[in-house]
Amino acid sequence: MTMRFEFLPNEIFIECFQYLNVPDVFYSFDQLNYRFYTLIRTIPLWLNFEEFKKFKFNQFCQIILSNPELKHQIISLKLSNEGTRGQIEQFLSLFPLNEFINLRSLSLIDLKVENVEQLRPMLALLSSLYYFSYTD
């Protein structure tokens, strides 16, 4: 007896998705069918943009811009200026952090002084945030 991939229960996919970076999940499953489209828009998302190429980072930012409800699913966010030429500043200029109402963890790598000025007014508005780290 053969089993088709699509017949696996959602719980198995959700478990597997936790081991993948969110953009990879979207690029791999978003356009497969309505079930996956819906599923990946209802699960908690851990976004790690560290070591992301600028093109891929920009692509996923466009996905977030075109699906604003995704901001409510993001519970962890990791951004890095290290080797990415201003990723933190770009992200903060596109998305005010207070729109990420379920954000629990925020990590910023190679934080610049100008990023601190952008970030300061937003941090107080993150009522769900319980972990914040940065390196400069």
Question: Tens of pLDDT along 30-74?
Answer: 988 999 999 999 999 999 998 888 899 999 999 999 999 999 999
Please answer whether residues 39 and 69 qualify as being in contact, where contact means their C-beta atoms are separated by less than 8 angstroms: no
Is the pLDDT at 116 greater than 90, yes or no?
no
- As a whole number, mean pLDDT of residues 126-132 equals 92
* DSSP secondary structure string for all residues of 25-58: HHHHHTTT-HHHHHHTTTS-EEEE-TT--HHHHH
The two tokens of residue 40 are: 């990946």
pTM of the model: 0.87
Say if residue 124's pLDDT is above 90: no
Residue 105 phi/psi, 5° resolution? Answer: -135, 130
Instruction: Flag whether pLDDT at 2 surpasses 70.
Output: no
pLDDT for 100 beyond 90: yes
The more confident residue out of 94 and 3 is 94
117: pLDDT strictly greater than 90: no
Determine the pLDDT at residue 52: 85
**In the chain, where are the structural domains located?**
5-134
